[in-house]
């Protein structure tokens, strides 16, 4: 993935998180990840696994495909 793709992915995760009224810390707790890691994903500084994409989708109550809708 390019840096630009990671940044778009991160912005989408952030938008979905905010739409659900969650802080990074709250989302991280549900995901059993550090809030630092969630922040790095949202800023496009970190690539993540397919497993984590599914965890994110469940935590945000969306289909995994919805995460990629606006990319």
From the number of C-beta atoms within 10 Å of its C-beta (0-12, 13-18, 19+), residue 8 rates as middle
| Within-domain flag for 44 | yes
Task: Report the CATH number that the domain containing residue 36 is assigned in CATH.
Answer: 1.10.260.40
| Within-domain flag for 53 | yes
The mean pLDDT of the chain is 95
Q: Which domain, by its residues, includes 61?
A: 3-65
Question: Higher-confidence residue: 28 or 68?
Answer: 28
Note the pLDDT tens digit of each residue in 21-52: 999 999 999 999 999 999 999 999 999 999 99
pLDDT of 71: 65
Alpha-carbon torsion angle 45, 58, 67, 52, nearest 10: 30
Kindly tell me if the per-residue pLDDT of 1 is higher than 90.
Answer: no
| Within-domain flag for 19 | yes
pLDDT of 52: 97
Q: How many domains does the chain have?
A: 1
């Amino acid at each position: 993935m390019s840096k630009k793709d990671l940044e778009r992915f991160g912005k989408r995760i952030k938008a979905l998180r905010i739409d659900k009224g969650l802080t990074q810390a709250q989302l991280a707790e549900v995901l059993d990840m550090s809030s630092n890691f969630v922040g790095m994903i949202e800023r496009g500084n970190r690539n993540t696994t397919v497993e984590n994409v599914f965890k994110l989708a469940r935590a945000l109550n969306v289909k995994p495909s919805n995460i990629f809708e606006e990319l």
